[in-house]
A and B are shown apart, each in its own frame.
Chain A
Amino acid sequence: MRPFPYKSVLTLLLTGTLAMGTVHLAFADDDDDDDDDERGRERSGLFESRQTPAPVVNATYSQECGSCHMAYQPGLLPPQAWAQIMTPEALANHYGDDASLSEELRTEISTFLGADASDVSLQMVPSGAGNAGGASALPRITDSVDFKREHDEIPARLVTGNPEVGSFSQCNACHRKAAEGNYDERWIDIPGHGPWKD
């Protein structure tokens, strides 16, 4: 393990805002005080942004979505993106797969993902998603500005060319605590390569 001198605490605080640029996005969901949403949003200041995306806490979401892929934290996409993804039509062609849900489950998961929320001011803005129909037009976490900024220096051979990873959408292949919402650099371990330092 790498040494962890005291000064690295400060370093982490400073680099955190860069390295963890995406994590503030989950803040509305990271607040234990569920009935005080506004306070949660106000707390998402610069330094608190080091907090990690809220762990996935909805069992239905974990089961239904997590059975095929990592259950991405709600904060990784803005509510209107989740709303797009969670329409019955979009679920029937879910990035090339059929992820249809019963209306009951669809409603529960949509609510958990914040797809019915309207305040998007603190959320990540996707880019590159076209307006054309079809699965390719669905929002993608990997298309977001924040995601691209964090991953633009990673050689493709370590991800798409790495059979143990395969795709940038397999967060937990390299971010060993991604499922817990922890994308901290210290937990990066790229299969066949090892840690990654910016």
Chain B
Amino acid sequence: MKRHLTTVLPSILLGAGTLILPATLWAADPAAGAAGWTKEYPQADGSAPRSCVTCHGRDLTRPGRQANTGKVIEPMAPSVNPQRLTDPAKIEKWLTRNCRWTLGRECTADEKADFIAYIKTQ
């Protein structure tokens, strides 16, 4: 669905000149975000493979645990933690940091939108 839209819609939107919508409005895919959440990435430095689950856990309504320091991370799910996804700067900061640390690179705009869409549903 999303991949289809991403190929078709841009030409429509660009064709309409100024009518360009933010990608997140039509590209975000909670299912892709869910899959990305548990996907493990091998680490170049030989440390154990990482995923979002490494620190946040699988159940977003439960607290997580910072893998290095052990510090408790409050639940990601807005349903139990209404503070989540309310501060755009914070979202951008953590997606930047955590994508670099976990995936070994920055996430694409699509990937970030998918993660947010997934977290929103939790």
Chain A contact residues, CB within 8 Å of chain B: 67-70, 92, 95-102, 166-167, 169-170
Contact = CB atoms under 8 A, between A and B. Distances in A.
Interface stretch (B2-10, B23-31, B91-99): B91-99
Interface in B55-72: 66, 68-71
B70 A166 contact: yes
A101 B68 contact: no
Contact of B93 (A70, A97, A102, A170): A102
Given A97-B101, A98-B101, A69 B93 contact: no
Majority SS at the chain A contact face: loop
B70 A102 contact: no
Nearest to B98: A98
A39 B97 CA distance: 40
> Of residues A67, A99, A167, which shows the largest number of chain B Cβ atoms within 10 Å of its Cβ?
A67
B69 A100 contact: no
B10 to A, nearest CB: 29
Interface residues of B, number: 15
B68 A95 contact: yes
B60 to A, nearest CB: 17
B89 interface: yes
Contacts of A167: 69
A169 B69 contact: yes
Contacts of A170: 69-70
B100 interface: yes
A193 B11 CA distance: 67
B71 A68 contact: yes
A99 B98 CA distance: 9
Contacts of B93: 100-102
Contact of A98 (B66, B71, B73, B100): B100
Contacts of B89: 102
B11 to A, nearest CB: 34
B24 to A, nearest CB: 20
B100 A68 contact: no
7 contacts: A68-B69, A96-B45, A96-B47, A97-B101, A98-B97, A100-B97, A166-B70
A170 B89 CA distance: 28
Contact of A100 (B45, B66, B96): B96
Contact of A96 (B68, B71, B96, B98): B68
Contacts of B100: 92, 98, 100
A169 B68 CA distance: 11
A62 to B, nearest CB: 13
Interface in B33-55: 45, 47
